[in-house]
């Protein structure tokens, strides 16, 4: 790390007074042509190398002034790199991954989301990108936006059981973990949205064990939500549905275990 830090200082430092360009660069340990390339703001290679070097120096979670400086300069270098034409699609993809990883290390989820949402304007059908945005919103605690993007992905890929399952699980998580932060109205909405999503996953694959398990949990959430507002009969019906799905899940797991044992 010390050697890399010194090299970063060398790249950006000035030659000693009285040195010509070649002599000053030689003292820095770099040919002047290479040093010029590294410092050229329009050089993809130079900006990329600068960015990954600062990334290597940075200590995640550190509040040290040096690390704050590395983060600021490194992220700026990544942003310059991403504005330039990459030598290959793989090069751009790698740069984007490093940039997002750097933002994650600094805890700047808002900036990562803003970058990805900008990319979505030119790649509106990129399901992996939509899922990435949804996940970042979830980690940032913005569950409304997270569910919006998870639902968007499911609607764009409706025959994929996993997209509906993911939406259903996140609806359950919002209700179950949200506690008093979730209003009665919101809880009713997310629970119904989750049940609907898992119904779609099970319509694609009736033997989807994980979906059976979570639809059971969602009906339990529905039962609790109804009981809170005194709708005891409806709560009992929801509880019965939960039991029904729990039994299906248990029976399916037993059948799978028996098949594996006999096979």
Instruction: Quote the pLDDT of residue 202.
Output: 98
Mean pLDDT of 46-63: 92
User: Does 261 score more than 90 pLDDT?
Assistant: no
CA–CA distance, 79 with 102 (Å, rounded to integer): 11
The residue ranking higher by pLDDT, 36 or 209, is 209
pLDDT tens for 180-189 read 999 999 999 9
Mean pLDDT of 170-175: 97
| Other beta carbons less than 10 A from residue 60's beta carbon | 12
The residue ranking higher by pLDDT, 108 or 20, is 108
Instruction: State the angle between helix axes of 127-139 and 143-156 in degrees (0 to 180), rounded to the nearest 10.
Output: 160
Mean pLDDT of 46-54: 91
Annotate 232-242 with b (16+ C-beta within 10 A) or e (fewer). eeebeebbebb
Instruction: Quote the pLDDT of residue 142.
Output: 94
Confidence band of 124 (pLDDT split at 50, 70, 90): very high
Confidence band of 64 (pLDDT split at 50, 70, 90): very high
Confidence band of 61 (pLDDT split at 50, 70, 90): confident
Confidence band of 110 (pLDDT split at 50, 70, 90): very high
Instruction: Quote the pLDDT of residue 31.
Output: 56
User: Does 17 score more than 70 pLDDT?
Assistant: no
Confidence band of 167 (pLDDT split at 50, 70, 90): very high
Whole-number average pLDDT of the chain: 88
Mean pLDDT of 163-169: 98
Confidence band of 262 (pLDDT split at 50, 70, 90): confident
Mean pLDDT of 75-103: 94
Mean pLDDT of 235-252: 98
% of the chain exceeding 70 in pLDDT: 85
Mean pLDDT of 110-138: 96
The residue ranking higher by pLDDT, 7 or 150, is 150
């Amino acid at each position: 790390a010390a050697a890399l830090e010194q090299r970063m200082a060398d790249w950006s430092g000035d030659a000693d007074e009285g040195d010509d360009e070649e002599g000053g660069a030689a003292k820095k340990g770099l040919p002047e042509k290479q040093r010029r390339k590294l410092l050229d703001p329009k050089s993809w290679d130079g900006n990329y190398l600068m960015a990954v070097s600062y990334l290597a120096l940075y200590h995640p979670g550190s509040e040290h002034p040096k690390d704050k400086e590395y983060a600021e300069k490194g992220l700026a270098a990544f942003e310059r790199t991403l504005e330039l034409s990459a030598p290959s699609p793989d090069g751009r993809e790698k740069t984007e991954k490093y940039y997002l990883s750097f933002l994650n290390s600094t805890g700047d989820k808002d900036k990562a989301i803003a970058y990805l949402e900008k990319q979505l304007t030119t790649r509106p059908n990129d399901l992996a990108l939509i899922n990435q945005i949804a996940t970042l919103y979830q980690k940032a605690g913005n569950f409304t936006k997270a569910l919006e993007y998870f639902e968007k992905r499911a609607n764009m890929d409706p025959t994929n059981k996993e997209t509906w399952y993911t939406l259903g699980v996140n609806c359950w998580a919002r209700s179950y973990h949200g506690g008093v932060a979730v209003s009665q109205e919101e809880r009713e909405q997310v629970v119904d949205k989750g049940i609907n999503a898992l119904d779609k996953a099970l319509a694609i694959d009736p033997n989807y064990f994980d979906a059976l398990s979570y639809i059971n949990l969602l009906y339990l959430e529905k039962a609790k939500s109804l009981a809170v507002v005194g709708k005891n009969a409806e709560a009992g019906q929801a509880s019965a549905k939960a039991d029904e799905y729990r039994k299906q899940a248990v029976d399916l797991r037993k059948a799978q275990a028996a098949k594996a044992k006999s096979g």
